[in-house]
Structure formats: C-alpha cells, structure tokens
C-alpha cells in the first residue's frame, strides 16, 4: 500500500467528549441465534477519528457485531453507546439519523436503478422538509432537493465515479458496485462508517483504490471507520488498532503488529501444529 499508514498505527485518536469517553462503546454484548452463541460478552471501544479493523476466521461473529451496532437486530445482553448516547434500543430505521452508516458483505444496492439514484436514496434520512413546507411552501422543498442533489454529485466526484453516474448498478462490475455502496453510505452524512468486507472479491488495483478512498474519507471527511476485512495485508496497513474475534469471543486487541504476533490470533487463523498435521 503506502507509507502514510505507518505513522498512523497506534497513534493517539481523539475521544468524543472532553471526559475521555470513547466515540463508540460496546459493553458486554452477547447474541445467540437459536442454540448457537454468535457473540459472547464482547467489549469494544473505538475513538473518534480512528480506523479500527475487526478480524477473525469465518463464523467468528464479525458481521454479527456490525449488525448489532447498526441495529439490524438487538443484542441479547449488553449495551452499545455512540457519541455519548445509548443506542442499544434505537429502532433500526432511525440508526442512520443517529449518524451511523454502513455497507454490507453482499452488496445491497438497487440493481435496477442508476448510480445517481442509489446515492440519492442514501440522502433519505436527511430529507425532512415536512408536509406543510412541501405542500404550501413548495419552493423550500425544491431548494432542499437541489441541495441534496449537489451533495450527491460531490460524493460522485469524490469517489471518481462520474463516468458511471447514469449507469444501472446491475451493469457494473463488483469493484465499482462496492464503491457505489460506499458512496450511498456517505450520502447519509454519517460520523461513523461500518464497512463489512469492503474489498471482498476485488483485484489488487481495485483494493488499492478502495484503501485510498477509505484513507481520504477518514482524513478529509473526518469519519470514524470500523471495518471487517480478511486481507491481512490491507488490515495491517490501513488500521490504527485491530480487534480479533474467534467463535464469538474477542481473543486479542491492539496495534496491527501486536495482534499479528498474538499466539491466539495465529492459532485462530493457522491452527495448532497438531491441527495442521491432521489436515
């Protein structure tokens, strides 16, 4: 990737309030599906302005954790606070208004709509002219529509997808679809971005582009980012801190170098010598 990451890893990040509370805090969160325990007593603190990676083998509970933070479903136990607010029971349809945006492991765009229209849908939580202003003072609603459109056009330019702005999403390769989904998440103007495997299925060039955009979003747009990623090269280069899960339990946390050298992480990914010999 590039050398800009090395000066960032482990660097001091700003917390959300003057009293030092973390921007995002997950406290003792557990989740089961039937008889399967997906997460068990997870603790996580993310500071404002940080890029935090969550790693672990398949089935470790990474996406479940992201789904709990974004309120796709509630935790069985535990508490989640964001920007000083308890969001544990915030309705799913309100989470974008709180300031949390996300992408999905499997691209969740409207394939029959254009790139521009998909990004405009991302502005929906911010479109609140009200019935009175829309019906009587229609000029205000029209002005707001122009403002939303201008912001979306800015995001399209920022992500370098101007050439496909009127293209149907279904006609795009996966790498560009993931960039569009990132743009739709940005359109809601979140302060926290949750990225679920943003580089899965990409080639090397596409990954390098996505890494660049993630850095720019973090540094230029001042977004805090929590991402799930399997490419360890990307994780080690892009993250300031890393949290590792295995079988629903957090097994390690620290700087990329600390986590990479952690015996529990090595075993989770590679297995013990006896396990490898039996394969």
All structural domains of the chain: 1-94+232-279 (3.40.50.300)
Tens place of pLDDT for every residue, the chain, 279 residues?
444 443 343 343 444 444 578 999 999 999 999 989 999 999 999 999 999 999 999 999 999 999 999 999 999 999 999 999 999 999 998 999 899 999 998 888 999 999 999 999 988 777 665 544 545 555 566 677 788 889 999 999 999 999 999 999 999 999 999 999 999 999 999 999 999 999 998 999 999 999 999 999 999 999 999 999 988 889 989 999 999 999 999 999 999 999 999 999 999 886 643 343 344
User: Whole-model pTM?
Assistant: 0.85
- 105 vs 178: CA distance, rounded Å: 10
Q: Which H, E and C letters describe 139-175, residue by residue?
A: HHHHHHHHHHHHHHHHHHHHCCCHHHCCCEHHHCCHH
In this prediction, residue 140 carries a pLDDT of: 60
DSSP conformational letter for 106: S
Of 217, 204, 233, 245, give the one whose Cα is nearest residue 51: 217
β 100-102/192-196 pair status: parallel
Bridge partners, residue 100, by sequence: 192
In this prediction, residue 189 carries a pLDDT of: 94
- Burial class of 159 by CB neighbour count within 10 A (0 to 12, 13 to 18, 19+): buried
Residue labelled with tokens 């569009």: 180
Of 119, 108, 117, 112, give the one whose Cα is nearest residue 168: 112
Bridge partners, residue 44, by sequence: 26
Bridge partners, residue 93, by sequence: none
Q: 220 to each of 19, 133, 159, 217, how far by Cα in Å?
A: 25, 34, 13, 6
Q: By the 8 A CB rule, do 100 and 192 touch? A: yes
Q: What is the number of other CB atoms lying within 10 angstroms of the CB of residue 253?
A: 18
């Amino acid at each position: 990737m590039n050398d800009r990451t090395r000066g960032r890893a482990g660097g001091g990040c700003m917390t959300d309030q003057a009293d030092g509370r973390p921007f995002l805090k997950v406290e003792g969160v557990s989740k089961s599906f039937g008889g399967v325990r997906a997460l068990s007593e997870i603790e996580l603190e993310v500071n404002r302005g940080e890029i935090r990676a969550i790693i672990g083998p398949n089935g470790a509970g990474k996406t479940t954790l992201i789904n709990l933070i974004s309120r796709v479903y509630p935790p069985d136990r535990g508490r989640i606070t964001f920007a000083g607010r308890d969001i544990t029971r915030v309705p799913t349809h309100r989470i974008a208004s709180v300031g949390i945006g996300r992408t999905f492991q499997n691209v969740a765009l409207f394939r029959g709509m254009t790139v521009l229209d998909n990004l405009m849908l991302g502005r929906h939580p911010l479109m609140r002219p009200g019935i009175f202003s829309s019906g009587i003072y229609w000029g205000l609603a029209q002005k707001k529509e122009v403002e939303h459109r201008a912001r979306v056009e800015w995001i399209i330019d920022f992500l370098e997808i101007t050439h496909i702005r009127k293209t149907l999403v279904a006609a795009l390769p996966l790498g560009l679809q993931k960039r569009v989904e990132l743009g739709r998440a940005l359109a809601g103007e979140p302060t926290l971005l949750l990225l679920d495997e943003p580089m899965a299925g990409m080639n090397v060039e596409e990954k390098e582009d996505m890494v660049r955009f993630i850095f720019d979003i973090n540094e230029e747009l001042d977004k805090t980012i929590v991402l799930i990623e399997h490419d360890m090269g990307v994780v080690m280069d892009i993250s300031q801190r890393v949290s590792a899960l295995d079988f629903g339990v957090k097994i390690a946390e620290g700087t990329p170098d600390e986590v990479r050298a952690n015996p529990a992480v090595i075993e989770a990914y590679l297995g013990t010598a006896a396990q490898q010999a039996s394969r």
